[in-house]
């Protein structure tokens, strides 16, 4: 499984975790922030969260002390103060390691009492001096039974040291968490369940990156990268969480992690029908905005995205033309102008249909050429009239072989119409 490294995260998107309850707190909502994300700490809406992870501190391979690089020092030292300006009650944790760190350094550190002590003492000192409320271990991953045993010893000693420091300083004990594999069983190796249950406030279950271009186990396979359920495999958030509970970790100490990003697989893809290799955007960072949501379009931080989808236009069941609910028309007509104020380069698309639409209307529309033409012509006309640069079909869902075949015809005719319209109007074709 891949890791929480910037190589796998869209450059300005954050990791979001929805936590289950722990230590008497009903809900914990947390996020990982990365200094290389290009997303300023001051821009984090900390009112959305109860906890925020600052990632990552490093582990020195010689001294086994936790350190913060000089390039991150200023941001890390002011991190807590900055995020508490919008939410004084938010708790911050310093995360150590990460997918880009060397797992053998962690293995060496955990193998001896003296090096574990160096890690533990320096981590506590660093957390206190930088005003963090807790520490998070991200060792990806122990790879032998001995390393997992040493991990358990490390966690027990860490908890003891944190408790002793709290008693001697008179301060509230630091929180301790760790990011672990999605399952309690790591390729036939078992996590130290008793130590985890006794010593950690919670476990961040990394139920994501099951399939990715960067994964050592699935580099050439596609699949659901963060499936909550998977009927064909035990690789899912549900299966992993169940394994942790069955192993003995209390459910209240389990955290379900999920990504707010996706993957593209570009490689050296070439379309032979074209004279040049396929020219595509390296990353697509997109979000849907729903017209009935509580967030007004002007509140969207469009600087986070390359594409925004305005949802949803409706399909008329008689004419098979696109239409809007009258209350949405103003929001839709102004959408592109509004989101471009913060990001002039953003591309907007009009999404059609959605989960609440009647799938049978879409089925009827694709069944006849005249109906498809009505849909296509009206979609292009409305997209142009409202300033959208693309169209998005959300038909949930085509459920017969005939529907699938007809949907293929729709796509072909839609693309042909878009290309023809762009040529006639001398404008860039809709996406």
pLDDT of residue 146 exceeding 70: yes
Dist. CA 333–CA 311, nearest whole Å: 12
Q: Where exactly are the structural domains of the chain?
A: 6-258, 286-425
Dist. CA 232–CA 229, nearest whole Å: 9
53 DSSP β-pair partners: 32, 93
CATH, domain 286-425, list 3.40.50.720, 3.40.50.620, 3.20.20.80, 3.30.565.10: 3.20.20.80
Q: By three-state DSSP, how is residue 140 classified?
A: coil
* Residue recorded with tokens 């991150």: 72
Burial readout 193-218 (b: 16 or more C-beta within 10 A, e: otherwise): eebbeebbbbbbbbbbbbbbbebeeb
DSSP assignment of 376-407, as one string? HHHHHHHHHHTT-SEEEEE-TT--SHHHHHHH
User: Catalytic positions, please?
Assistant: 140
Q: What are phi and psi of 106, to 5 degrees?
A: -65, -40
Across the range 223-239, mean pLDDT stands at 89
> What letter would DSSP give residue 246?
H
**Picking from 85-94, 172-181, 415-424, which range would have the lowest pLDDT averaged per residue?**
415-424
For the record, the structure tokens of 65 come out as: 């002390």
Helices (H), 200-347: 237-247, 329-339
**Close Cβ partners of 104 (under 8 Å, ≥ 6 residues apart):** none
Identify the pLDDT of residue 223. 77
For the record, the structure tokens of 385 come out as: 């009239």
Across the range 218-231, mean pLDDT stands at 79
Beta strands per DSSP E along 250-306: 254-258, 286-290
Structure confidence at residue 429 as a pLDDT band (50, 70, 90): low
> What letter would DSSP give residue 429?
P
> What letter would DSSP give residue 31?
E
pLDDT averaged over every residue in the chain: 86
Across the range 39-49, mean pLDDT stands at 91
pLDDT of residue 21 exceeding 60: no
The 10s digit of each residue's pLDDT in 209-222 is 888 766 656 666 67
CATH topology of domain 6-258: TIM Barrel (3.20.20)
CB atoms within 10 A of CB 426: 6
Express as a percent the part of the chain with pLDDT over 90: 65
**Close Cβ partners of 153 (under 8 Å, ≥ 6 residues apart):** 110, 116, 195
* Residue recorded with tokens 């490390």: 154
Domains 6-258 and 286-425 share a fold: yes
């Amino acid at each position: 499984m891949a890791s929480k490294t910037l190589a796998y995260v869209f450059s300005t998107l954050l990791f979001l975790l929805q936590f289950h309850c722990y230590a008497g707190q009903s809900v914990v909502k947390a996020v990982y922030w990365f200094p290389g994300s290009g997303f300023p700490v001051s821009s984090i809406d900390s009112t959305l969260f109860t906890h925020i992870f600052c990632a990552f501190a490093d582990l020195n391979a010689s001294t086994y002390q936790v350190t913060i690089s000089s390039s991150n020092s200023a941001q890390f030292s002011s991190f807590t103060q900055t995020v508490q300006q919008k939410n004084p009650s938010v708790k911050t944790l310093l995360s150590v390691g990460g997918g880009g760190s060397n797992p053998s350094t962690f293995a060496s550190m955990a193998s001896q009492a003296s090096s574990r002590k160096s890690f533990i003492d320096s981590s506590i000192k660093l957390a206190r001096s930088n005003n963090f409320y807790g520490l998070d271990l991200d060792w990806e991953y122990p790879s032998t039974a001995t390393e997992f045993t040493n991990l358990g010893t490390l966690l027990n000693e860490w908890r003891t040291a944190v408790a002793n420091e709290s008693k001697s300083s008179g301060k509230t004990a630091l929180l301790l968490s760790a990011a672990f594999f999605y399952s309690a069983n790591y390729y036939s190796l078992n996590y130290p369940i008793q130590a985890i249950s006794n010593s950690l406030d919670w476990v961040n279950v990394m139920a994501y990156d099951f399939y990715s271009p960067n994964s050592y186990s699935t580099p050439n396979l596609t699949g659901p990268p963060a499936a909550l359920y998977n009927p064909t495999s035990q690789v899912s958030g549900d299966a992993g969480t169940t394994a942790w509970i069955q192993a003995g970790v209390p459910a209240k100490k389990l955290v379900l992690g999920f990504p707010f990003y996706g993957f593209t697989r570009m490689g050296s893809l070439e379309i032979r029908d074209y004279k040049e290799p396929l020219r595509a955007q390296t990353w697509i960072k997109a979000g849907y905005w729903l017209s009935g949501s509580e967030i007004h379009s002007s509140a969207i931080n469009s600087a986070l995205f390359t594409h925004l989808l305005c949802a949803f236009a409706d399909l008329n069941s008689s004419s098979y033309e696109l239409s809007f609910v009258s209350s949405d028309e103003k929001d839709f007509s102004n959408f592109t102008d509004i989101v471009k104020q913060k990001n002039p380069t953003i591309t907007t698309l009009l999404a059609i249909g959605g989960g609440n639409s009647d799938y049978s209307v879409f089925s009827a529309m694709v069944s006849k050429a005249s109906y498809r033409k009505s849909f296509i012509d009206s979609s292009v006309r409305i997209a142009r009239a409202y300033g959208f640069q693309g169209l998005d079909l959300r038909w949930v869902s085509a459920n017969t072989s005939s529907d699938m075949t007809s949907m293929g015809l729709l796509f072909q005719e839609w693309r042909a119409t878009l290309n023809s319209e762009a040529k006639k109007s001398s404008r860039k074709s809709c996406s």
